[in-house]
Every structure is written in C-alpha cells, then in structure tokens.
Structure 1
C-alpha cells in the first residue's frame, strides 16, 4: 500500500434511519443535528482534524438535504452582502477553516452498504481508503487507526468497541478478526464500531448494489484472516434512537463531547 497517497474517507449516509423516525421523516439521519450541526459534520470534523479531508458521501434517502448543506456551506459560515438588484453576493470574512473536498455521490435509495462502497470506488482509484457510517461519533485517534492498519498489512481493518451487543460481533485473536457475525441478538464483548480502513481490493468482494458490506465481504475477510481489529476502549456512541440523540446533545451542550478533538 502506498503511504504517500492522500487517504479519502467514504461516508455511508444513505440509510432510512427508521429507528429515529421522529427526526428522519424530513431529513436523512446524518443530517440530524447535535449542537446546531449535522452529526455528519461532526464525523467529518473529526477525520479532518487528523488531516483526512477528502470525503465521498454516499447518498440515498433524502440525499438532496445533504447536497443543499454543502452547496450552501460557504455562505452559511460567514457574513455576506446580497445585492437584490443584480443578485450579486459579496463575502466579508473567512467562511471558516474547512478546506475539504467533498464528493456527493448518488448511490440509490435501495442500495446496500457494500453496493455504496463499490460505487464510491470511482473516486478512490487504487488508493487505501477509510469508511464509516454517518451516524456514529468517537474519540478514536484516526492516525493510530491508519498506522495499525499499515502495520498489520491486512486487506481491511475495522474499529472494535464495547457497547451493548447491537452490532456486528467480533472474535479477535492477536489483533486479527477470526469470525464476524452481524448484529448478534445476545452476548457481550467487542462489536463493529465502524471507522474502517480498506485496501482497494475490497471492491472485488462486492458483487452488486445488493451486497451488504457487513455480511459476505467482511465474513470472507475474517475467514481468510484478512480482517484486522483496532481495539478502541474509549468513547464511542451511535445515534440510533432518540435516547442516543438526546445523550449526544446533552454531552455537547454541557461542553463535554469526548469526540470533539478540533478547535
């Protein structure tokens, strides 16, 4: 893998968010706000604070809301004058420090997570890339995650966390994932927290838009001992329910958001 290439980040932001219906009737879940900004923005700020500022956002359900946010991002950040006679707009101050490149990719409302990754490959080339979900925040050191991936020399690495067993269950031996079980109903231990790193060959394991990343591709990689675990004992929280959302908002409002690692 090339260490001098810029590492892009794929954000899976096309799901329906049915368990947060109170918020997602009118917007995709990644656009639900914490502290006045979409949770997607928080995730991107985290990556960018470690120098990873090229993003491929995989759109699906109500993707136009995410497009609108970024199309208007610059003007929302600073002061401006609008000349109503001719429609001219003048910016009066720096609109912010974010110098991101954001690819907004329509992947289809019904496309599965693997299919979205495969479609995103048109922006990735032959580069190592990162990927995560558009609804979870953590205080993960992204640079350490990438260093771990490079040191283990596997085709894929995902971050293992220890919340309640609602997500993909992992069995780990010597930092290598030996089995991967999607969303076990019972049990405790390490689970899939997202924040993944992939080599470009992962795309070859994705058959179509109907492929679920967390099933055949990751299960095959685990079987072949090509799936590494970056074990994270720190803060991690998804925004799956109203209770989760309220918890994240409370942390932010109290100035105690563990995932905020930027100024």
Structure 2
C-alpha cells in the first residue's frame, strides 16, 4: 500500500494537466518530481502551476519546465525542531526528506509537525539504579532526580515524551524510591498518569517490565533509561518500529574512540601495516527500546533479565529485531564528566 506522499510522485515528462490532477488527488498542494532512479529532481506546487497558466503556458507543457529544480530538502538526520526551523525560515508548508542517494523517503508538512499527537503506548522509565559512578552526588539523591538546567533529569525526559503525545507512564524504582514518588506523584501536574513499579531487589534492565499490569493495551511499549538526555523524535521511532514489524527495536548511537597506540596488522606472523592511533567506530546501545506487547509475559516468566539478553533471546528465536539510529542530541549521564557536560549543553538543546 502506498504512503500518502507516494501518491504525488511524478516524472519530469508529466504534463501540467496530469500534474494538476495528481496534486488535486493527493490534497498536499505539491507534487514530487523524480527521475528513473527515483531521485528527487524537483518539486512543483499548485502555486507554480497557477503562475505558469497565468503566463500562458499550455496544459500539455512538461512539468520539468515549471518545477523548482533546486528545492529545499531535509535529511534523515534532521530532528523535528530542525525541520520546523527549515520550513519556517523558507516559508514552506511541505518539505521532502531524502536519503543519502537523494531519494525521497517521506514528505513532512508544517501542519502535521505542529499538530499535537496522542499515543496510547505506555512509556516505561528505568529509574531504580544506584548511580554509583556519580557518587557523591547520588549519596543522598537518586540519579534521575539530579538537576540539570534547573530541573531533574527524569522531569526533562517525561516532558519530552509529553510534548510528543504520550500520556501513560510507568517508572521502575528501587534506590531512594520514595524521593522519586514524592517528586512526581501521580503525574497530575503534567496532565499524565504515572504509576510506579517497585523493584524489591534489582531485576536487571529488563526484568521490572514483567511487573507491568496485565490490562495494558495491546500496543508496543517504549522503554528508556532514566538518565538520558536526548532530542530523539519518539513518534518517528514508534512509526519506524511499526513499519519494520519487529518484535523489538533497539536505538543505537554511533560511538567513536581512538586507540592511544600504534596498531599492528599481521599476516602469517609478519607485519604488513602499522597504523598510528587509529580512530575506531561502532554502534552502541543508546538505552532506548520499543518492545512488542507480547514480550511482557515472556519477561515476567524470567524474573531477572537484562536488555541485551532479551534481545539475544529474540534473535535466537528468529524474531525480527530492528535498529533505529539516533542522530539527534543524546547524552548518557553516567559519569561526573557527562553530568558536568550536560550542565553546559542543556540550554542549547532544551
């Protein structure tokens, strides 16, 4: 089944007459012109055609003569905030998003970006850790309540979800649980519902999910560590998970590190190359997950469970496990250096 924007894709040789029909049928006020490789070569709006007709152009004229051949586009890495900035800065109502090859992957509209969505999907936040690497800051305060930018880390996380349209929250607590409960209460001051999952003993990064009530809606569950600051678009993450038809989706972050020595490459015990202090790169777990509702029962049967184990179990069973790359701002507040860095960056990103 075609997505809505795919209904307004045309070729450069299409006539103005047929382009009018496509724009009218799509009701998006725009048509996307692509070549034989499906790369975007231009866009044409109803206003472009109207101006062409006023100038006396024939309806059988090819759209390539009228289209904007240098349209503004966005990349897959652009966040919702960046998309809005581009569109407002150039007075656009529609903005194509293209991949690295210049192929259209979706069409964003300013109206849709401003529209406040509402999702039935529960959000599960992990806030029970001891925060040992952040002592002495966490001696008397649980890490999720440490303040960055004048408010607790966990409050920033919750408010980002609320802005994205999520209303039902579960918070797993253990270390200094009463402080967290007292601060957030039932979520009423944010217009949301907050429920608490008490871990009597630590159950791993996935185990507490098995304590969720059995009457949750049969929709995917978003799980996130309670010590991460990010500008990820949660609605886009959820849409991606659904598109992939995956049992679980893991958010990943590109992580680079430099080896502080010269690295030697061998072949049959002979040195064939020496590379001085090479830069290595890998995909790291970003601490944000989307899980199919069916996994809650599976987790409950195992009591104690970590996320990597859960994902490896599903892979071994042959289930589809997807990856979502986080290209937006992301920072794990795990060490003092991260905590201090976040203090300096908060105003810029939040």
Q: TM-score, normalised by structure 1?
A: 0.73
Structure 2: which 5+ runs fail to align? 1-117, 258-279
Q: Name the structure 1 match of 2:120.
A: 6
Give 1:202's match in structure 2, choosing from 280, 295, 302.
295
3-state SS of 2:307 partner = coil
1:220 and 1:250 map into 2 onto residues whose CA distance is 40
Give 2:321's match in structure 1, choosing from 217, 221, 227.
227
Q: Name the structure 2 match of 1:49.
A: 163
After superposition, the Cα gap between the structure-2 partners of 1:120 and 1:164, relative to the gap in structure 1 and judged at 3 Å, is farther
Q: Name the structure 1 match of 2:282.
A: 189
1:249 and 1:109 map into 2 onto residues whose CA distance is 32
Deviation at 1:124, TM superposition (A): 3.0
C-alpha contact 1:15 1:109 (8 A) present in aligned 2: no
Q: Deviations over 1:140-160 (max 9, x none)?
A: 111110110010001111211
Deviation at 1:13, TM superposition (A): 0.7
Give 1:103's match in structure 2, choosing from 195, 203, 217.
195
Deviation at 1:31, TM superposition (A): 1.0
Q: Deviations over 1:103-136 (max 9, x none)?
A: 1221224222221111124463533211100001
Q: Deviations over 1:182-212 (max 9, x none)?
A: xxxxx63111112211111112432433222
2:153 and 2:131 map into 1 onto residues whose CA distance is 13
Q: TM-score, normalised by structure 2?
A: 0.56
Q: Name the structure 2 match of 1:174.
A: none
After superposition, the Cα gap between the structure-2 partners of 1:72 and 1:125, relative to the gap in structure 1 and judged at 3 Å, is closer
2:238 and 2:253 map into 1 onto residues whose CA distance is 16
Q: Name the structure 2 match of 1:159.
A: 251
Deviation at 1:5, TM superposition (A): 6.6
Q: Name the structure 1 match of 2:223.
A: 131
2:256 and 2:201 map into 1 onto residues whose CA distance is 28
3-state SS of 1:162 partner = strand
**Which of structures 1 and 2 has the bigger CA Rg?**
2
Give 1:58's match in structure 2, choosing from 162, 168, 172.
172
Give 2:242's match in structure 1, choosing from 124, 146, 150.
150
After superposition, the Cα gap between the structure-2 partners of 1:127 and 1:72, relative to the gap in structure 1 and judged at 3 Å, is closer
Task: Tell me the number of residue pairs that the alignment of Structure 1 and Structure 2 aligns.
Answer: 210
C-alpha contact 2:186 2:195 (8 A) present in aligned 1: no
3-state SS of 2:195 partner = strand
Q: Name the structure 2 match of 1:242.
A: 336
Structure number with higher relative contact order (C-alpha < 8 Å, ≥ 6 residues apart): 1
Structure 1: which 5+ runs fail to align? 75-95, 166-186
Q: Name the structure 1 match of 2:306.
A: 212
